[in-house]
Amino acid sequence: MNEQELRATVIATLKAIAPEVEEGDLRPDKPLRNQVDLDSMDWLNFLIGLHEKLKVDIPEADYAKLVTLGDVLAYLQSKIK
Amino acid sequence: MIEFKLPSLGADMDQGTLLEWKVSPGDTVRKGQVVAVVDTSKAAVDVEIWVDGVVRELLVHPGETVPTGVVLATLDGVGETLLAPGATARPAPPPPVARIAAAHRISPAARKHAEELGVDIGYIAGSGTDGGVTVEDVERAALAARAAPAATAAEAGPRRPVTPAARKRARELGVNIETVTASGPGGAMLLEDVERAAAPAAPAAPAKDHQGEMRRAIAAAMSRSKREIPHYYLAETVPMQSALDWLTAVNAGRPVTERLLMAVVQLKAVALALKKFPEMNGFYRDNTFQPAAAAHPGVAISLRQGGLIAPALHDVGDKPLEQLMRELADLVKRARAGSLRSSELSDPTITVTNLGEQGVAAVYGVIYPPQVALVGFGRIAEQPWAEKGALSVMPAMTASLAADHRVSDGHRGALFLAELRELLQQPESLK
């Protein structure tokens, strides 16, 4: 999966939870949960969605590494390889 | 004969528009079965029946708006109908006159008022003693009748297979479903069919103002709460180190699909604390407190498009956390999709709100009538902690209680919060 495809998958997963999200409005370097207003249930559903689509396991201990959209993309890229 | 009335759907949902019947006359129904779909200001509600029986007559037709308490259908109890084996003839529905004749008690003042307002008293469900019809019932029915557009013949006509979502959308878009070409399996009409049919006319037919309706509904319920309920408020700082450590350890060995959230730990703690403090769990009606047998906390869920809803999570005190987690996830999902069951809206015995996620330190809630208490959780954050003469850093949160002073006093409220705090220090006891 290339970077474009991964990004598209992540955005689609996010939009399934927060349909109002506009990809163009997302700053890749700002905390994602502040930009999108994801509560802990939304966040968990987002990770479950990524887990199901990408078959990656995301331990709870790694949540701290997943702050911005850029973090999420880099983390997933490293897991898929 | 059993009268099946539109159940209460919460203080801020006092009427509903029937979208669809899921049963027909002659059908056998079981307690808890979804028999109708009703649209309210907050969600499309799957209305469950409260008794076993056989449907006799459907009295309200799709498209009609009626207040809660109105008789939607009549049923025969189990054993009441004795059709010969193989008989297909159904008992003829009683003529409308019979319905009026069988009307419940009505006070002379209410009868006079009904005549003045031109309301059919046979159609009004009574809320007074022994089901008697009061002046208020008459006024409510008159208001609803005025608000409800008369059902068209087409809407009351023969049933076509239409998904609930499609029917709801059709109403929102002002589409007559009789004119829509269905594309689903078995000729079923799908959401897409309705939207396709509406497309050219869409600009002319404004969508139903659900947002405005919800705002008005919340305004009415919260105004009533502040008008009628003498609230008192208490807050307690709860150390959360034990609960956080326990949850981290539990989740560490679990795949993402089976992890628990602190929210279910908090809900379970509230439900267990309520066992010792029944005066926080129940309803205040007719100047009397009616304690509830089980704790069904209403979970405040904010909706993405604005507004909130607090449907019940049932029997929280008796369920393991894993089951509560699955049920909570499902409840949140359905609440946001606008599809809830009637029991989830009518059953909450207390409300639990967690605004800590948005970063506030504490929340002092407005009680949702006729409930008598609301528990609020603020954010969990590290703070300086003095204990046994030493200073340390401790993750902690503020738990608050808003309670009805007609039912309980601050002393009991304080003991309730202390119990909640203690339960959260022993998370393994909450499993």
- Res B162: pLDDT: 73
The answer to whether residue B157 scores a pLDDT higher than 50 is no
Question: Which class for A20: exposed (0-12), middle (13-18), buried (19 or more C-beta within 10 A)?
Answer: exposed
Region B208-232: mean pLDDT is 90
What DSSP state is assigned to residue B133? B
pLDDT at residue B299 in the model: 97
| pLDDT tens track for B54-66 | 999 999 999 999 9
pLDDT single digits (tens) B376-425? 999 999 999 999 999 999 999 999 999 999 999 999 999 999 999 999 99
- pLDDT tens-digit readout, B336-372: 888 899 999 989 999 999 988 878 999 999 999 999 9
Report the pLDDT averaged over residues B130-134. Answer: 62
Nearest-CA distance B397 → chain A (Å)? 16
Please state which of the ranges B107-111, B151-155, B173-177 shows the lowest mean pLDDT.
B151-155
**In A, which residues are within 8 Å of B252 by CB distance?**
59-61
pLDDT of residue B15: 86
Contact between A39 and B357 using a beta-carbon 8 Å cutoff:
yes
| CB neighbour list of residue A4: distance below 8 Å, 6 or more residues apart | none
User: ∠B331-B332-B333 over CA atoms, to 5°?
Assistant: 90
User: Considering CB atoms only, which of B255, B332, B357 is closest to A57?
Assistant: B255
Percent of the residues in chain B that have a pLDDT greater than 70, as a whole number: 73
Residues of A numbered 31-70 whose beta carbons fall under 8 angstroms of chain B's beta carbons: which are they?
39-41, 44-45, 47-48, 51, 57-61
Higher pLDDT, B24 or B210: B24
Q: Which domains does chain B have, with CATH numbers?
A: 2-147 (2.40.50.100), 160-204 (4.10.320.10), 218-430 (3.30.559.10)
CB neighbour burial string for B72-81, b if at least 16 within 10 angstroms, e if fewer: bbbbbeeeee
When mean pLDDT is compared across B24-33, B171-180, B216-225, B350-359, the lowest value belongs to B171-180
Residue B129 has pLDDT above 70, yes or no: no
Cβ neighbors of B274 (< 8 A, separation 6 or more) are: B280, B281, B295, B317, B349, B350, B416
**Higher pLDDT among residues A51 and B135, named by residue:** A51
Taking CA–CA distances from B326, the nearest residue in chain A reads A41
pLDDT digits (tens, 9 = 90+) for B274-322: 999 999 999 999 999 999 999 999 999 988 888 889 999 999 999 999 9
pLDDT exceeds cutoff 80 at B191: no
A41 to B257: CB separation less than 8 angstroms, yes or no: no
pLDDT digit string, tens, across residues B224-242: 999 999 999 999 999 999 9
- For chain B, say whether A24 makes contact (Cβ under 8 Å): no
Asked if A48 lies within 8 A of B357 by C-beta distance, the reply is no
Instruction: Search chain B and give the residue with CA nearest A60.
Output: B252
Q: Is A10 on the interface with B (CB under 8 A)?
A: no
pLDDT at B101: 34
Stretch B107-128: mean pLDDT = 64
Instruction: Tell me which residues of chain B have a C-beta less than 8 Å from any C-beta of chain A.
Output: 248, 251-252, 255-257, 259, 261-263, 302, 304-305, 328-329, 332-333, 357-358
Helix or strand (DSSP H, E) at B173: helix B164-173
Kindly report the number of other CB atoms within 10 A of residue A41's CB atom.
20
Q: Residue B252 — very low, low, confident or very high, per pLDDT cuts 50/70/90?
A: very high
Of A19, A20, A41, the CB nearest to B261: A41
Strands B53-58 and B71-76 turn out to be antiparallel
**DSSP codes joined into one string, A13-74:** HHHHH-TT--GGG--TTSBHHHHHT--HHHHHHHHHHHHHHH-----GGGGGG--BHHHHHH
Q: Which positions in chain A touch B337 (Cβ < 8 Å)?
A: none
- Return the higher-pLDDT residue of B155 and A69: A69
Q: Check pLDDT > 70 for residue B46.
A: yes
Find the range with the poorest average confidence among B3-12, B21-30, B156-165, B396-405: B156-165
pLDDT of amino acid B155? 38
Q: What is the pLDDT of residue A2?
A: 87
Lowest pLDDT segment from A47-51, B84-88, B356-360, B373-377: B84-88
Chain A hits for B257, Cβ within 8 Å: 48, 51
* B interface test, pick of A39, A46, A54 with most B CB neighbours within 10 Å: A39
Q: Which pLDDT score is estimated for B196?
A: 64
pLDDT beyond 70 at B185: no
* pLDDT recorded at residue B305: 81
Task: Give the residue from chain A lying closest to B328, CA to CA.
Answer: A41
pTM beyond 0.80 = no
Min distance A73 CA to chain B CA atoms (Å): 18
User: Contact B129/B159 with Cβ under 8 angstroms?
Assistant: no
Q: Which of A73, A79, A75 is nearest to A3 (CA)?
A: A73
**Nearest by CB: B304 against A18, A40, A59:** A18
CA-closest candidate to residue B66, choices B14, B116, B114, B117? B14
Domains of chain A as residue ranges with CATH? 3-80 (1.10.1200.10)
Highest mean pLDDT pick, A29-38, A61-70, B224-233: B224-233
Residue B141 banded pLDDT, cuts 50, 70, 90: low
Q: In the beta sheet, which residues pair with residue B235?
A: B400
A62 → chain B, closest CA residue: B252
Residue B326 to chain A, least CA–CA distance (Å):
11
Number of cross-chain residue pairs from A and B with Cβ atoms under 8 Å apart: 37
